Structures are given as C-alpha cells and as structure tokens.
Structure 1
C-alpha cells in the first residue's frame, strides 16, 4: 500500500478520530492537536500497519497512547496556570509574608521528623516522592518490588505517627 493510499484510508476515519479526541481532551483546540498528532504518527509508522487488520482500532490505540503520554508529560511538569480573575492565586503570596516564615519553620520541623525515620524507609519514600516508579526504585536499589512497596507504606505510616500531634 502506498503512502497516498494509506493517507486516504486513515482520512476515511476522520470523524471517528475527531469525536474521540474531543471526548478525551474536552477542548476543541486540544482535540485538533491530538487528531493531527495521531495522523502524523500513523503516517510515520504506516509500515507497521498490517493490511487486513482493523485500521480503526489501530488509530484508536495511537490516539489513546498519544493522549496518555501527553498527560503524563504535563503532569510531571508540575505547571500551574492561574486562570482566575486578577491572577488571584499568583498574587495571594504577596499578602501573606508572615505565613511564609511560619512555613519555613514548619518545613524544617517536618524534615527533622522525617529524617529521624530509618534511612532505608526515607530513601525509598523520597525516590517515590521525587517521581520514580516502583519498578525504577526496585532496579536502582536492587531490591524486590514488594520490598519497595512495603518500605514506602511503612515510611508513610511512620511519618504519620511522628507528625500526628503536629497537625
């Protein structure tokens, strides 16, 4: 199948893809971007499509994976867009100077309490807190996956116990 024939084939599913993109993103512009990215990836990987298989399912999978990857990427960026009137959330910190100094003391106390917990638990928990997945922590520390999960759970439990009076 030539690239132009393949392009015609995938364009025949345009309405399906647009509806799916709108359902996933719930935004017209973002759905257009997602649809375009799906077409781009489909054409770029047209050699991987096997004739006779379900093209609609193949395109659906590409779109779904593209959406999930974009979501994970945006989630990991920890960006905050203040769309409130007069940038309320961005400007709120300017009026709370006293609260900021208390926050420093609070943070120091909390870190003191956290560091008083056994190092193996804290190390595993901090890796998880910093965005590592269970499997990655398991590989880096050369410990079983179950041990990673157990250490993170126990670290949370110990931190809760140490900070319960502080709340």
Structure 2
C-alpha cells in the first residue's frame, strides 16, 4: 500500500475511531487528543502494518494501548513517593494509633458474663468455644446431643443479651 493510499484509508477509518475515543476518555477534548495521537502513531508506523490485514482493528489496538499508556503515566505523575530518610508525618490527621484498651474492656466484660452463667450452660458452651464437637461434648458430659445444642444456644442467647452494649448496628 502506498503512502497516499494508506493516508486515505486512515482518514476514512479515523471517523469511526472518535466514538471509541469518547467511550475511553469520557471527555471530548481528551478524545480528540487521543484520536490525533492514534492517527499520528499509525502514520509514523505504517511500515509495520501488513497489507491484507484489518487496518481498522490495528487502529483500535493502537488507540486502546495509547489510552492505557497515557492513563498509567497520569497515575504515576499523581503518585507521590517520599524518598527522604525522616519518616515524620506532617499534618497527617488521618492516621490514628489504637492502644487496645476498648478491646481489653470488652474481653473483661465477656469473661464476667461467662463466669455468671450457670454451670449447666457454661460448661458445654466453653467446651464448644474451645473447639469440641457437639458429639464429643455430649459423650463427655453424658448428655443427649440435642440437650448439648440447646444449652449452648441458651448460653449464647444469655451472653448476647448481657453484652448488647457491644452490638454493632
């Protein structure tokens, strides 16, 4: 294909590229810039185009890759990397350090509530909490499995009611 034929065909296909550029950029000016970059790259690399292949698909690929490259370049520019040795945060109000005190208070309250449970409920509940299976608890306590499940359910319900101040909405 001669340069003149390539230029003519490129001009014909560039009209169908504009909607694709608009879909990628979502901005008319950026779409025009992307279209211009695509046509320029296609024309300067016309020797890499093989006759008999789909020129339109080749142009769409150039446009998509140009858009991705420009987007990645923009993201890299917007990324700030601090290479200084001092690691002080200036005006960093969005950082917070928790000391774990609320978790300790909650854990103490949970343990108090468990200690207040009747042994009938506390023993199967704690065995289950430690990883025992229902069947193992039933065999160890010499109880029917339904009774074990019921007692664990009741213990959980009592604990839930006693600890409702910690409920997250």
Taking structure 1 as the reference length, the TM-score comes to 0.48
If you compute each CA radius of gyration, which structure gives the higher value, 1 or 2? 2
